[in-house]
Amino acid sequence: MNNLKFIDFCAGIGGGRLAFENLGLECLGFSEIDKNAEKTYKLFYGENEKNYGDLTKINTDELLDFDVMVGGFPCQTFSVIGQRKGMKDERGEIIFHLINIMKKKNVKFFLLENVKGLVNHDKGRSLKIILEALNEAGYHVDWKVLSSINYGVPQMRERIYFMGIRKDLLNDNIKFSFPKNTTQTANVEDFLIDDSDLTFNEKQQAYKTFLKYLNNKYNQNKHLIEKLLESEYLVLDTRQSDLRLYYNRVPTLRLGRHGILYVKNGKFRKLSGYESLLLQGFPKKLAKKAKENIAEAHILRQAGNAMTVNTVQAIAEKMLDFAKNLKIN
């Protein structure tokens, strides 16, 4: 059992928390302002879990002492699907509130996540500002863009991860390294297993919209429905103007727009919230809880906003090895 303790910031539904708990760390609370996400979080981890609420208003003196900060700080301002306001948007400043908390609580480590778009946002200036602020706060930072598809789930989700350690804990002879990619992609058939009636057919208005979509100027005469239905577990992404097809992989799940279909038993099916949670690395027992207690639209939204459990856990394992080599516990 590891003695390190953590608090889950910008927690969403606790993908980061689950990863660290799987490795034996103790969670001392979380911070989340979305009430629907909080409901799911407490469904997963217990009604008595302490939510510190808006992290910009947290009194750090009220926080228990903790060793590791975990968080996926707001990404809409940096994402290619957002308006890319970045540091000009107050949500882009959440990182500075996190830095303030880690300084005041003398946190040993942090693991933070954001969208890949942060790397090039404002020609790299936003990333540079964040790294400089973390350095000035007394932390050494390693960062890397990783894709979830390389860590046990068939989702093509690229995110930037920051692993930081307080500089006074460093040893020049011991270096941190991010986890290596797995050599084999998970089988999508093991994730698209919802037994609910999710058939997508001509009786539905959405299906008629889908037919019009197939006949737009980008897709016209490119795809025959009969041909598409011949490929079992073919995944279709309708969120762009042109139809995107994927084999044994699923495109990035997102917070807002949903348009992922797949073929099973010769029929189109909609990707469900239950399946989305599995694709984010949540176990079946938690996905089942959500399916039975949370509205489908909320699950889809929350899954799209979550941290991938598998990827965070792979990084956290390397972080704990790093801590062990530094004799930190």
Instruction: Report the C-alpha gap between 58 and 51 in whole angstroms.
Output: 11
Instruction: Report the C-alpha gap between 298 and 304 in whole angstroms.
Output: 10
Instruction: Report the C-alpha gap between 45 and 27 in whole angstroms.
Output: 10
What φ, ψ does residue 260 adopt, rounded to 5°? -95, 125
Instruction: Report the C-alpha gap between 294 and 190 in whole angstroms.
Output: 23
Instruction: Report the C-alpha gap between 53 and 55 in whole angstroms.
Output: 6
Instruction: Report the C-alpha gap between 18 and 290 in whole angstroms.
Output: 15
Burial of residue 48 (number of CB atoms within 10 Å: 0-12, 13-18, 19+):
exposed
Active site annotation includes 10: no
Q: How many CB atoms lie within 10 A of CB 176?
A: 20
Catalytic: which of 68, 75, 130, 263? 75
**67, 108 Cβ separation under 8 angstroms:** yes
Residues classed as catalytic? 75
